[in-house]
Structure 1
Amino acid sequence: MSGADLDDELKQDDAVAAEAEAESPAPESESLDEENRLKPEFVRNVMDALDEEDSDRVYELVEPLHPADIADLFELVNEDERLQLARSIRDLMGVEVIAELNDWVRELLIEALPADVVAEIAEQLDTDDAVAMIEDLDREDQQAVLAELDPEDRAAIEAALSYPEESAGRLMSREFVAVPETMTVGDLIDFLREHRELPTEFWEVFIVDAMHRPVGTCALSWILRCPRNIPLYDVMSRDQTLIPVDMDQEEVALRFQKYALISAAVTDSAGRLIGQITVDDIVHIIQEEASEDILRLSGAGDGDINEPILITVRARLTWLCVNLATAILASSVVGLFQGAITRFALLAVLMPIVSGMGGNAGTQTLAVVVRAIATNQLTDSNTVRMILRELRIATANGAALGLLIGGGTTLLFSNPLLGAVIGAAMVINNLVAGLAGILVPVTLDRFRIDPAVSSAVFVTTATDTMGFFSFLGLAVLTGLA
């Protein structure tokens, strides 16, 4: 058979196989639905087996799952069954599962394990994952686990724990490949093949000078395609993004996003290479920071459904008490116009519309501005332009809503003056909402206060107070009441 005939036959076989694969539906997973989530009936089966204390059945059900799905299963079973589940699938509780667990769930499981077992797990994890597991433990438990670690691992984890929370030092991994700039491509290839203690996964090699300061990077794809005699100094990329060890993780994520990084070198105060951060860590940070900002805007705390109820109550109640105080302030404005409301009771019916619409408009602006600050879209260079933009939007929206509610009020109550008053109040309050929605978070950010935490309270107070004051005040000034 000729080469051409063989190629034709292989192509025909591939086409037949592809057609058969397309016609036959993929087998449906017994545990996962079409959106790759654990099926409710599968979770019930596991919980039933746990209730019956049938460890063999639990193991049989869980064994086919991916480590990430096993981690999800721990969140879905009842809290009092998680330790029993861990005992039933002890052989499956590898480092991949531990690394994927929700923080609160992992803390519950880790606290129930002896210190030597936790240390054994930590030694198998990458440094950043081991730090994430140990940092949530109590000080006493931390010391007990650290005492069980090998000296080298203990030193690395203790060094990471010495950096501020949510900093690059906590996030970085100390497993990386760095070689001197004097090497050739051939030297590097030989080094990678012969060295037994390299990280299991990496995408680029860091090139360092005699002071161990990064001077460039070489992607593995470049190394494999270059002749062996070429010096690394001639082929390395000098355009690299260095991450200071004390940089906040949110800023690290922004740099990865802006420069499309796969990995980046972390340097100490002297500029020496001490670690690396990879994009898989950044994916978690981006999700965590985005969720954190949204939840902080609502004052809902961490918002984790696995968080202990007492901690959740304390976090939410704090901001609810602040909101109660601001609500009293807004109601005091209404109290100034008791006489007007008594003379014309219809004002009490309509005034929540003005304050409510202003609050919604302020929340819209606030959400846009907080996101712009978090992503570095809003800076000192364009703040004035942003303020003018939001004022134009607020004027347009206020005018449209004012005409709508003013016209509807006129037709419904046959009172053109009342329609004009509520329409004008709607315009005024929308302008206040637009200004407050941008000025409050920008001002808080200037004072190094997280705008996602406190902005909503101030914006809501401004729109409620001005909504009542503008509507009731205009009603008095025009002689409507």
Structure 2
Amino acid sequence: MSEADLKEELPGAADDTAPEGMPESETLDEDNRLKPEFVRNVKEALDDEDSDRVYDLVEPLHPADIADLFELVDERERLTLARSIRDLMGVEVIAEMNDWVREALMEALPADVVAEIAGGLDTDDAVAMLEDLDEADQQAVLAEMEPEDRAAIESALSYPEESAGRMMSRDHVAVPETMTVGDLIDYLREHRELPTEFWEVFCVDPMHRPVGTCSLSWILRCPRNIPLYDVMARDQTLIPADMDQEEVALRFQKYALISAAVVDTSGRLIGQITVDDIVHIISEEAGEDALLLSGAGDGDINEPILLTVRARLTWLVVNLATAMLASSVVGLFQGAITRFALLAVLMPIVSGMGGNAGTQTLAVVVRAIATNQLTDSNTARMIWREFRIALTNGLALGVLIGTGTALVFGNPLLGAVIASAMLINNLVAGLAGILVPVTLDRFNVDPAVSSAVFVTTATDTMGFFTFLGLAVLTGLA
């Protein structure tokens, strides 16, 4: 068989004529990002309504770079860009787009065009594209789709957001465990409707429940007459369809999975999740937790301004309330501050250092909870660990600030007061940094969302109270 004939025989082999991209010197910088001058040329062509030039500029780009280009042009230019390069807007481009950019673009395109794009995507990518659309737009698009595609997407949308059922792909290979290796190889070669890319074959029983897996490397190296039940791996990680995507990612990481079967409540195989989906989830979840700790919302630069303002303002208002609580503590000691004004200069040091210490502990604990490192089995040990760390840091910082204060202001008592307050507030910060997120997690509240507010309130309030209270008790003020 000739090379040309072989290319025609192999599924998907005819796609090897795709452009490989412009030389790096023309479009991409050393960090593999589109160069500003290239983006400027595209925008100038869009302003001039020169669709041919836009097409010529964009055609050599990789689909992922075209997706990046949509983020880099102005929002008002995106629809024009899509129209100018319509036949380049393949499923690879849509799948690589930023969620907010894709959602705005899909809402602007006619329902039949969106349906055509969704029909060419894998189920998980099509669901990601449609799930954020308004209900009316979503139904209009689904009405334009082929019945089989529509049924698959509607089934996926019936599962909770950010669950395995939403992110799984229904394109997988499942065969009876009674097949031989030779039967399986013939089956894979003869059935052209099978997925073009997969790493494992799932073996199922008569009830279509997964009982084992066969990697392609095993299949290729085994004699044809060997039954699959003799060579398949029976130990496998099954993913319930309603499992949260973060837990799915943790299982992939823990067990070094390439793919995993997704099962419904009856244990039947309904789809698979592959490692390329998990890479995206791990990145998304890590960034999400970091942003939630700061109260910055999604933190996506393409998110609509009003949504960003609402997310940030909510937590800023909460912080304002907690700041007022801390200031009320200061108000209790107005007389002492009036008599010894130096207290007003030094007390922000105590609260500020406590806040920093609490934030450090909080970040470690929230990560440990998110990655299942912190469980009921080791919570007590973790609390004792953080207590010792806080005690050591508090003693060290107390000695430094106490000695410095005594030398600079010539007042050993003031140095002893601020050193003691620093030690106490560091202990409070360390304990609050672990107890707050652990408690919230016990009540099924995401500790990344609201822990920072409680920890900051504790360190500010106790910082002011201990420093000013000790100053009064010792007769310093």
- Which bin holds the TM-score, normalised by the shorter protein? over 0.9
Spell out structure 1 runs of 4+ moving beyond 4 A: none
Query: Residue in 2 aligned with 1:156?
Result: 152
Equivalent residues in 2 for 1:25-424 (5 A)?
Answer: 28-424=24-420
The corresponding residue for 2:444 is 448
* Residue in structure 1 matched with residue 460 of structure 2 by the alignment: 464
State the alpha-carbon separation in 2 of the partners of residues 448 and 394 from structure 1: 27
What's the secondary structure of 1:377's corresponding residue?
coil
Partner-residue secondary structure (3-state), 2:27 = coil
Instruction: Please identify, of 38-47 and 459-468, the stretch whose mean Cα deviation from structure 2 is larger.
Output: 38-47
Partner of 2:422 in structure 1?
A: 426
Q: Matches of 2:443 and 2:23 in 1, distance apart?
A: 57
CA deviation after TM superposition for structure 1 residue 27, in Å: 6.3
* Deviation at residue 86 of structure 1 after TM alignment: 1.0
State the Cα RMSD in Å: 0.9
Q: Normalising to structure 1: TM-score of the pair? A: 0.94
Aligned-pair CA distance for 1:97: 0.2
Amino acid at match of 1:429: N
Give the whole-Å Cα distance in 2 for the aligned partners of 1:178 and 1:150.
Answer: 24
2:32 partner SS: coil
Q: Aligned equivalents of 1:91 and 1:145: distance in 2? A: 20
Post-superposition offset of 1:427: 0.4
1:81 and 1:302 map into 2 onto residues whose CA distance is: 24
Q: Taking structure 2 as the reference length, what is the TM-score of the superposition?
A: 0.95
- Aligned equivalents of 2:438 and 2:383: distance in 1? 10
Q: SS of the residue aligned with 2:211?
A: strand
Deviation at 1:61, TM superposition (A): 1.3
Structure-2 separation of matches of 1:156 and 1:418: 71
Amino acid at match of 2:175: V
| Amino acid in structure 1 at the alignment position of 2:285 | E
2:428 aligned with 1:437, yes or no? no
1:48 CA displacement: 1.6
Give the corresponding residue for 1:20: none
Offset from partner CA, 1:9-43 (integer Å, 9 cap, x none)? xxxxxxxxxxxxxxxxx964311111111111211
* Alpha-carbon distance change, 28 to 155 in structure 1, aligned in 2, over 3 angstroms: closer
Are positions 1:477 and 2:473 aligned together?
yes
Please state how far the C-alpha of 1:196 moved relative to its aligned partner.
1.5
Give the deviation of 1:57 after TM superposition.
1.6
Alignment size in residue pairs = 456
* Alignment partners' CA distance in 2, 1:244 and 1:342: 64
> 1:379-418 CA distances to partner (integer Å, 9 max, x unpaired)?
0000000000000100111111111111111111011110
* 1:35-59 deviation per Cα after TM superposition (whole angstroms, max 9, x unaligned): 1111112111111221222222211
1:480 aligned counterpart, secondary structure? coil
The letter for the 2-side match of 1:426 is M
Q: Structure 1: which 5+ residue stretches go unaligned?
A: 1-25
* Distance in structure 2 (CA, Å) of the matches to 1:291 and 1:402: 34
Secondary structure at the counterpart of residue 277 of structure 1:
strand
- 1:23: which partner in 2? none
Identical positions, percent: 88
The 2-side partners of 1:134 and 1:299 are apart by 27
Question: Structure 2: where are the runs of 5+ without partners?
Answer: 1-21
